[in-house]
Amino acid sequence: MHRLRFTQDADETLDRLSKGPKADPVKLKKVNKALARLQADPRYPGLHSHQYENFPGYSAEKVWDSYVENHNPSAWRIYWMYGPDEKDEAGEPISVITVLVIGPHL
């Protein structure tokens, strides 16, 4: 199991989907389901996770792309990377996934 960390951009997308004039409970449910699968197993077959080439602002990092949905022209994705890992109270390592962006396919 991984710990999910969210960038400000990803956090703002989740907030926008959950409240306000652009709230979208259907999309939020799909995003939360994909995030739960990502947290449990980034290689879950339904996520179709694959390395993304030349992600803007993270050219030196390995950024991954996972499906939220794939059945329409504006299909959503989760863009993420491993780390940086953390340690728990006992000093044991905790695997972290940093969610960079949640939104339409780039």
66-102 pLDDT, tens digit each: 999 877 767 899 999 998 888 888 988 889 999 999 9
Domain count, the chain: 1
Beta bridge partners, 52, equal 63
* pLDDT score recorded for residue 85: 84
Q: What is the largest CA-CA distance in the chain?
A: 47
User: Average pLDDT for residues 1-27, to the nearest whole number?
Assistant: 93
Q: What is the pLDDT of residues 37-50, one digit of tens each?
A: 999 999 999 999 99
* pLDDT score recorded for residue 63: 95
* pLDDT score recorded for residue 56: 86
Residue 93, in any domain of the structure = no
Residue 97, in any domain of the structure = no
Residue 91, in any domain of the structure = no
Residue 42, in any domain of the structure = yes
Expressed as residue numbers, the domain containing 70 is 3-86
